[in-house]
Structure 1
Amino acid sequence: MNADFVNAVSELLKMGGRDLVEKDFLIHSLLFDLSRNNYFRSNFLLKGGTCLIKCHLGYFRFSEDMDFTWGEQSVFNGISQKEIRRKLSAAIEKVGDILEEIAARHGMDFKCRKADRNYVELVGSDKSATFKVWYDSMVLKRKTFLKIQINFVDLLLFAPVDKELASLFSALGDDEGKNLRPLFEKEFDAYSERPKLAVYDVREIFCEKARSILTRRSVKARDFLDLYLISAKFGLDPGEFKAEITAKIRFVLGMYERYRSNFEEKKKLLKSGAFFEWGNERELLIQKIDENKFHVFLNEIKSPLLEIVDNVSS
């Protein structure tokens, strides 16, 4: 990874978070390699914030993780929990082997050791796995990691779509980005690649973001921001997806015990009116947002979210 390239991109963006630019470049490189692996490309759907900025909304903020879901959920229908566990174990091993190979190619550190939480974390009887790929950050001057989280068992309500994945260059403009090529040809060409993956429909992400707001342990400003920008661009309203959001919440409450206490806490926060705070996530923003419109949106979604809470609890 060329530190001068990271500095040049950061200067064009007029931002100080050079470590985020470095991480985004590495995420894009991993996604490109994953898209070229037939097993991974055929079985997993990209979702979450990285999917949102690369496929649906453009680079309005940085996303620091890669989130995927197993695409063909029907493979778990009609089989025993023991058989599900066997399938999940095999899939985790396969993904781990793929990541180990990719990490070695990029000079990163990953070992497929399921008992070592420095590399792999498993929850929900292996229904969810987090893989940590470590790298030496030239910006931070220390070792840190990229996180790839996969939900193997999930509730999908909308058909996935095939999309090309944009890079941070989409936030720079064609001319500004192209000016970097004579100076950093290798990095520019790698970052300009547009890998193709099957990804979540924007409606699926919209419902997932609303679900996250009500089941995540902490308050994440990015969930509200993502919901707002999806609504603004695609005209989606939480009130129109109450049934879908309710179904997703009930699904995760039944699947993962940790979400149940989170949901009860979020109910209290929502009813108290203190359910949003920025925290340090402003640092992830690349583009400015209309704060007034954003806060109007926050007020507008409170009522449908309360209805969803009541639906889940009834």
Structure 2
Amino acid sequence: MIPQREIKEKARVFGVPVSTIERDYGQNWLLKNLSSINMALKGGTGIRKVYIENYRFSDDLDFTLLEEIKVEEIKTKVKEAIVKSLEESGISFDEDPVISENENGFAIDVYFRIMQRGPNKTRIKIDITKSFNEKIFLPLEEREIIHPYSDSFLSQVKVYSLEEILAEKIRSLFQRTRPRDLYDVWFLWKEWKKVDKTKVQQILPKKFKFKNVKLDINGLKSRKNNFKKAWKTSLGHQLKNLPAFEKVFNSVLKIIESTRIFRLS
């Protein structure tokens, strides 16, 4: 396990709480050893873990299953991944995660401790979507996990393409109010030059149709204050320099309105 001074130094450099660095570090080891489950990494964690080093931190590990798997097998393989991560990293993971099944998939809470004292432990939340609840339209990629810590390892993971991640993030804006989705859409579309926007535009209508989500610009605008209220509390512990909310929100509206990327009924 890396020394505590390394965790503290990274927290100082990136301007985030120590617990954010601890979680990021623990996520990496779990991600390495969850590869025995046939699933693909996605979401903001996917951006940080394999595509953009030093991207915003993420609280969860999000996956989509690539085949049907029973809850008993999920439990077994997750426990195996935890034990292996404990053995390889020295992190004090609880070996009995809290696992529940729902209509959408599986929700898993893994608890661990590195520097924290007292009764509370740091949590890593793992969300696994069942294969029939999400459709992947672009080829998956297999990429090296970015592990910017001194106990380096080499491991690959199946992951959504950046274009698929961005398409789901845009759709998510019309499903729920999560500031991280707003930030990710803004960054990937405006600030990151390696996204193929043509591919994003091609699959967006399919993404919306699969989940029966309607494009409702007025509805999105009506939730502006809800996004704003949660902006700092949701993202403040995930990155050092949080951009101004108004700048990001207005930019995302322009992305949606001016590019006419949607042709949905």
TM-score range relative to shorter protein: 0.7 to 0.9
Indicate whether 1:269 and 2:219 are aligned: yes
Q: CA deviation at 1:287?
A: 5.1
Query: What's 1:251 paired with?
Result: 210
SS in structure 2 of the partner of residue 194 of structure 1: coil
Query: What's 1:205 paired with?
Result: 165
Do 2:58 and 2:238's aligned partners in 1 also have CA atoms closer than 8 Å?
A: no
Distance 1:300-1:60 versus aligned 2 partners, 3 A rule: same
Do 2:20 and 2:57's aligned partners in 1 also have CA atoms closer than 8 Å?
A: yes
Q: CA deviation at 1:26?
A: 0.5
More helix by share: 1
C-alpha separation between the residues in 1 aligned to 2:235 and 2:123? 21
> Who wins on radius of gyration, i.e. which is larger?
1
Query: What's 1:17 paired with?
Result: 17
C-alpha separation between the residues in 1 aligned to 2:249 and 2:171? 19
Q: Within 5 Å, which residues of 2 pair with 1:233-248?
A: 233-234=192-193, 236=195, 241-242=200-201, 244-248=203-207
Describe the superposition over 1:88-138 as per-residue Cα deviations: whole angstroms up to 9, x where unpaired. 42xx322211211232342422437xxxxxx122222xx411111122353
Identity %: 23
Q: 1:149 aligns with which of 119, 122, 127?
A: 127
Query: What's 1:96 paired with?
Result: 75
Q: 2:178 aligns with which of 220, 223, 229?
A: 220
C-alpha separation between the residues in 2 aligned to 1:123 and 1:280? 27
C-alpha separation between the residues in 2 aligned to 1:70 and 1:306? 32
Q: CA deviation at 1:44?
A: 1.2
Alignment TM-score, normalising by the size of structure 2: 0.79
Q: CA deviation at 1:157?
A: 0.6
C-alpha separation between the residues in 2 aligned to 1:282 and 1:294? 13
Name the aligned partner's letter for residue 148 of structure 1.
Answer: I
Do 1:242 and 1:304's aligned partners in 2 also have CA atoms closer than 8 Å?
A: no
Alignment TM-score, normalising by the size of structure 1: 0.68
C-alpha separation between the residues in 2 aligned to 1:270 and 1:8? 39
Superposed CA RMSD? 3.2
Gaps of 5+ in 2: 87-91
SS in structure 1 of the partner of residue 163 of structure 2: helix
Name the aligned partner's letter for residue 33 of structure 1.
Answer: N
C-alpha separation between the residues in 2 aligned to 1:30 and 1:196? 12
C-alpha separation between the residues in 1 aligned to 2:83 and 2:30? 11
Do 2:20 and 2:238's aligned partners in 1 also have CA atoms closer than 8 Å?
A: no
Gaps of 5+ in 1: 73-86, 113-118, 170-187, 254-259
Query: What's 1:303 paired with?
Result: 257
SS in structure 1 of the partner of residue 173 of structure 2: helix
Name the aligned partner's letter for residue 146 of structure 2.
Answer: A
Name the aligned partner's letter for residue 46 of structure 1.
Answer: L
Q: Within 5 Å, which residues of 2 pair with 1:1-314?
A: 2-11=3-12, 13-35=13-35, 37=36, 40=37, 43-71=38-66, 87-89=68-70, 92-105=71-84, 106=86, 107-111=92-96, 119-124=98-103, 127-136=104-113, 138-139=115-116, 141=118, 142-153=120-131, 154-169=134-149, 188-189=150-151, 192-216=152-176, 219-231=177-189, 232-234=191-193, 236=195, 241-242=200-201, 244-253=203-212, 268-272=218-222, 274=224, 276-277=227-228, 278-286=231-239, 288=241, 291=244, 294=248, 297-303=251-257, 308=262, 311=264, 314=265
Describe the superposition over 1:239-268 as per-residue Cα deviations: whole angstroms up to 9, x where unpaired. 974552232233234xxxxxx7xx79x765
Do 2:14 and 2:240's aligned partners in 1 also have CA atoms closer than 8 Å?
A: no
Q: CA deviation at 1:305?
A: 9.3
Distance 1:16-1:227 versus aligned 2 partners, 3 A rule: closer
Do 2:23 and 2:122's aligned partners in 1 also have CA atoms closer than 8 Å?
A: no
Do 1:44 and 1:198's aligned partners in 2 also have CA atoms closer than 8 Å?
A: yes
C-alpha separation between the residues in 2 aligned to 1:28 and 1:57? 14
Do 1:238 and 1:305's aligned partners in 2 also have CA atoms closer than 8 Å?
A: no
Name the aligned partner's letter for residue 157 of structure 1.
Answer: F
Q: CA deviation at 1:149?
A: 1.1
C-alpha separation between the residues in 2 aligned to 1:23 and 1:273? 30
Q: CA deviation at 1:46?
A: 1.1
SS in structure 2 of the partner of residue 66 of structure 1: strand
Do 1:46 and 1:198's aligned partners in 2 also have CA atoms closer than 8 Å?
A: yes
Distance 1:59-1:194 versus aligned 2 partners, 3 A rule: farther
C-alpha separation between the residues in 2 aligned to 1:223 and 1:167? 23
Q: Report how many residues are paired.
A: 250
